[in-house]
């Protein structure tokens, strides 16, 4: 039995959830998200709650049960509150700036890296060394943060690179003379 899948997802005030066939749609103040449900589970909406149940007792259906419930919960939270990831840039001359619909990164390469910002995601740079990514889709916010971090991963000797704000980089000792 799925411990997560058993719990229904509560729909907060200001969010509407609709089920049309196998397509679940969440609408809120921060946007609209859609999710095609897996063929292994069924969803139902009643009394301001979304409940997910497996169609059969196979192992695959039980795996999809908890995953679908967690994804629906992330959708409901995303359209009501949104998700945020913060990145920190460490290094001399490393900086970021938003120019129009692009994020321009200077990370010590011979050229600037230009990252196009998707329409449903908002990226801000309060300081030249901090990037904040906000949006309704948790998966997309996390994926963009991972892509930006991959341009210059933090290295363990000086700590230079792009890291998550909550990430701790284990430092190594340098060469000895």
pLDDT tens for 30-65 read 989 999 988 888 888 988 899 988 888 888 888 889
C-alpha distances in Å from residue 77, one per residue of 6, 37, 136, 166: 18, 18, 8, 21
What is the rounded CA–CA span in Å between residue 130 and residue 72? 30
Confidence at residue 98, expressed as pLDDT on a 0 to 100 scale: 94
Which domain range does residue 67 map to?
3-80
Quote the number of domains for the chain: 2
DSSP one-letter string for 74-124: HHHHHHHT-EEEEEEEESTT-EEEEETTEEEEE-SSSS-EEEEPPTTEEEE
What is the rounded CA–CA span in Å between residue 102 and residue 2? 42
Q: Which of 32, 62, 80 is the C-terminal boundary of a domain?
A: 80
Which one, of 158, 84, 98, lies nearest residue 170 by Cα? 158
Q: What CATH number did the domain enclosing 132 receive?
A: 3.90.930.12
Confidence at residue 114, expressed as pLDDT on a 0 to 100 scale: 95
Q: Is 33 helix (H, G, I), strand (E, B) or coil?
A: strand
Confidence at residue 2, expressed as pLDDT on a 0 to 100 scale: 64
Q: Which two tokens stand for residue 94?
A: 């490393």
Q: Which residues pair with 34 in a beta bridge?
A: 25
Q: Are residues 128 and 100 in the same domain?
A: yes
pLDDT tens for 12-33 read 998 999 988 889 999 999 989 9
What is the percent of the chain with per-residue pLDDT over 90, rounded to a whole number? Answer: 62
């Amino acid at each position: 039995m799925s411990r997560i899948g058993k719990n229904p997802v509560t729909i907060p005030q200001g969010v509407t959830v609709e089920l049309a066939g196998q397509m679940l749609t969440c609408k809120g103040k921060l946007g609209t998200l859609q999710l095609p449900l897996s063929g292994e589970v069924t969803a139902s909406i009643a009394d301001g709650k979304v409940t997910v149940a497996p169609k059969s007792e196979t192992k695959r259906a039980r795996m999809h049960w908890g995953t679908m419930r967690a994804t629906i919960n992330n959708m409901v939270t995303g359209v009501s509150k949104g998700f945020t990831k913060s990145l920190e840039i460490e290094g001399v001359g490393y900086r970021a700036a938003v120019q129009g619909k692009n994020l321009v990164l200077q990370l010590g390469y011979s050229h600037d890296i230009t990252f196009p910002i998707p329409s449903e995601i908002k990226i801000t740079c309060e300081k030249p060394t901090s990037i904040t990514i906000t949006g309704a889709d948790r998966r997309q916010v996390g994926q963009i943060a991972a892509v930006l971090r991959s341009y210059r991963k933090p290295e363990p000797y000086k700590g230079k690179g792009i890291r998550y704000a909550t990430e701790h980089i284990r430092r190594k000792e340098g060469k000895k003379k």
